[in-house]
Chain A
Amino acid sequence: MASTSTTVPSAGPVVGSRSFLARLRDGDEIARLITFLFAASVVFITLLIVYELWQGSVLPRHKFGFAFFRTTVWDPNADNFGALPFIFGTLVTSALALLIAVPLGIGAAIFLAELAPARLSDTLEFFIDLLAAVPSVIYGLLGIFIVVPVMRDVVQPALKNTLGFLPIFKGPAFGIGFLTAGIVLAIMVIPYIISVSREILLSVPRDQREAALALGSTRWESTWKVVVPFARTGIMGSIFLALARALGETMAVTMVIGNTPSIAMSLFSPGDSIASVIANQFTEATGELYTQSLIELGLVLFILTFILNGLARVLILVTSQRGSAHA
């Protein structure tokens, strides 16, 4: 192509290349190519990660097969590795985090976007963005020094005395464990939910609100029945962003979860998560099978994130269809 474009125009192909050149000169084609490359690099990097994780975990995949997913033992000396306690810990702590963070986050976002004066809303937004920028190790330290003692001395005894008949609130209160990790994660992901949801709510067209008010609804009715449903897809997006953050969070979790691979009914008991065990053990892992099993855990986390994201898409699709059917 390059050689034909330099020759004097005389034949058919040259016409095509000239128009290509013209498009190049306009910049459209360049912009298209460059942005395409950028977009493609995302796919490329994702595939590369999967490829590397797959290649890096040959030994445990062959040795354990699917048993890796249901084995509850993690014993470097016996060369026996299973992912189940870590999958369990990751899912439980993330679910707890969302359970706490979603109502709080969306509530705060509704207040900031719909009810608070603009000035107050902007000021608070500044603080929320600050919170989102705090490094996770700081949250972990706050967890160790503040949340853990409060949990051990106040919250867990109180829960035991009132709801102790439930199996999820049984056992000794160490202060660390699933519940504490879930709470610290919740604190960490709330800023994401508030920040993104607020933006989404603010971007709901004025007409929607005015129409609702004109039909005689109260301020709250217009907010709850019109604005929030309109912004539903975006709000869900913020929740999934928070979920992704919670699934992969490493430092803060490892500092408060107790780092004990166990599957227990009680939220007071110590556990471990996928990201946490990888960070803890990778550098000093001895032997190929051990190292590769940790890499396979990375693959498991990737698959887990993939599945949850897929479910999220489906959920959005289903609910938005139902929404439009009602409209």
Chain B
Amino acid sequence: MLAGVAFAATLSINGAGASFPEPIYSKWFDEYRKKDPNIQINYQAIGSGGGIKQITEGTVDFGASDGPMNDDQLKAFQDKHGFPILHFPTVLGAAVPTYNVPGVSAELNFSPEALAGIFLGKVTKWNDPALASANPGVNLPGNDIIVVHRSDGSGTTYIWTDYLSKVSDEWKSKVGKNTSVNWPTGLGGNKNEGVAGLVKQTPNAVGYVELIYAIQNKMPYGKVKNSSGQFIKADLASVTAAAAGAAKDMPADFRVSITNAPGKTAYPISSFTWLLVPSKFTDASKRDAIKGFVKWMLADGQNLTEALAYSKLPKEVVSQELAALDKVQ
């Protein structure tokens, strides 16, 4: 009906949050604008914490986060607005171990015990049995391991520590999971670039970076043993497989961690990233625009993800989300 109107006013929708999915979000909003020129979606990549704060304050129309909101944050939103907020997974990300061991060119295998031990500061040499047993035939040196982690608060750190918390009770009780933690050992690098730079420069270093960053910069990274005992290299397919493995037990609110997910081909350090959408809108046109966008994102939008190295959602999750979209009123 409005399509016939020559100068239909542009509806501007504002969102803010996670920086990890920003490239794909920008692409999506751009493509969606081409499809529906009357809707302009603006996105500020201010970080997941900022996204949660802004949507709770009500200063943006939707938020975005690399980690699901915790119960306190959900309650804070509910208390302030009188209705709940909903999570919608959009794409998948992963964290990968990257290393610089002089004389070793082989792709290294990391068991959960080895990774937890290294980052707890207990596995201190490259030829520790925990590493050597998973890498038969590789001549690992007896040098001290230098651990590198993110110094800035980050969704990547959240995924990494979430994984370590699942595979190591000691990590869970001593350190825990968060966007920043009290690291037992190691040096801090700022953002993916900082970690990658430190690992590249420092002999015998090991760190973790986002999968997309590793792919785009052609960095070497290791395989990680998943819950089925397979050593899996992170790539688009193995990350999607992790989400598919988790789809069976998907909670209704999509707040699920898919680290160490079941599935033979699942890469264990994977995660969703979410849009945070209020369940009630006072402005019906905004509500329809956001619902329209999410519908498109779950269908056509998913075909744009792999060109930017994001893993797409498995089909099961897409249909679950389409059903959940009705909750937005």
Contacts and interface: CB of A to CB of B under 8 A. Distances in A.
Interface of A: 73-78, 144, 148-149, 152, 172, 174-176, 254-255, 258-260, 270, 272, 276, 279-287, 291
Given A77-B177, A255-B190, A270-B188, A284 B182 contact: no
Contact of B182 (A73, A258, A272, A291): A73
Given A283-B153, A284-B49, A76 B182 contact: yes
B117 interface: no
B227 interface: no
B128 to A, nearest CB: 18
B209 to A, nearest CB: 16
Given A285-B153, A286-B178, A280 B190 contact: yes
A210 to B, nearest CB: 54
Nearest to A257: B188
Interface string B126-158: 000000000000000000101000011111000
A75 B181 contact: yes
A93 B180 CA distance: 24
A137 B176 CA distance: 32
B201 A175 contact: yes
Contacts, number: 92
A174 B144 CA distance: 12
Interface residues of B, number: 36
Contacts of B198: 176
A149 B203 CA distance: 11
Given A144-B197, A284-B47, A175 B202 contact: yes
A258 B187 contact: yes
B68 to A, nearest CB: 11
Contact of B190 (A74, A78, A149, A254): A254
B153 A280 contact: yes
14 contacts: A77-B181, A78-B182, A152-B201, A174-B146, A175-B202, A176-B198, A259-B189, A260-B188, A270-B187, A276-B151, A279-B152, A280-B153, A285-B49, A285-B179
Given A152-B201, A259-B187, A286-B73, 7 more contacts: A75-B181, A76-B181, A77-B175, A152-B202, A254-B190, A281-B152, A284-B153
A270 B177 CA distance: 23
Q: Which of A74, A149, A280, A291 has the most CB of B within 10 A?
A: A280
